[in-house]
């Protein structure tokens, strides 16, 4: 933590304070192996999905009902996920590690 502070406190002083305050929650992240941590902190797929959702909702700014919005987003998601072709690196290993950490809750 001290190395982190030395490197980043001058530029982003509030980050180390936040980390220290929430260290109990943050430190659980480091209990996972590197492959699982990489899967957890990568947000590219979510950001891409949100960007595509914004395109759909921006094109039609008013939806008659909540159901029509849900349907539009569902159909958009169907089309968006067809384009996902990049597999998760070391997926077999990640699945095995998740099975160990979340025994009974994670099924392949």
Shared domain for 3 and 49, answered yes or no, is: no
What is the residue-wise DSSP string for 19-79?
Answer: HHHTHHHHHGGGGS-HHHHHHHH--HHHHHHHHHHHHHHHHS---SSHHHHHHHHHHHHHH
Model confidence over 43-87: pLDDT tens digits?
777 888 899 999 989 888 788 999 999 999 999 999 888 877 777
Alpha-carbon gap, residue 95 to 103, rounded angstroms: 11
Shared domain for 9 and 42, answered yes or no, is: no
pTM: 0.51
Shared domain for 18 and 42, answered yes or no, is: no
Q: How confident is the model over 81-99, as a mean pLDDT?
A: 83
pLDDT of 97 strictly over 80: yes
Domain that holds residue 64: 34-108
pLDDT score of 65: 92
pLDDT score of 61: 77
Shared domain for 92 and 107, answered yes or no, is: yes
Shared domain for 16 and 47, answered yes or no, is: no
As for how many domains the chain has, the answer is 2
Shared domain for 2 and 25, answered yes or no, is: yes
Contact 29, 37 (CB under 8 A): yes
Shared domain for 43 and 77, answered yes or no, is: yes
Q: Taking Cα atoms as reference points, which of 40, 42, 15, 18 lies closest to residue 29?
A: 40
């Amino acid at each position: 933590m001290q190395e982190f502070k030395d490197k980043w406190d001058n530029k982003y002083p509030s980050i180390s304070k936040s980390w220290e305050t929430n260290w109990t929650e943050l430190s659980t992240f480091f209990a996972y192996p590197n492959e699982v941590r990489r899967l957890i902190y990568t947000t590219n797929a979510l950001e891409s999905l949100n960007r595509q959702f914004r395109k759909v909702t921006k094109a039609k700014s008013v939806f008659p009902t909540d159901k029509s919005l849900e349907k539009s987003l569902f159909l958009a998601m169907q089309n968006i996920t067809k384009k996902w072709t990049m597999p998760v690196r070391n997926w077999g290993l990640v699945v095995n590690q998740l099975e160990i950490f979340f025994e009974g809750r994670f099924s392949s």
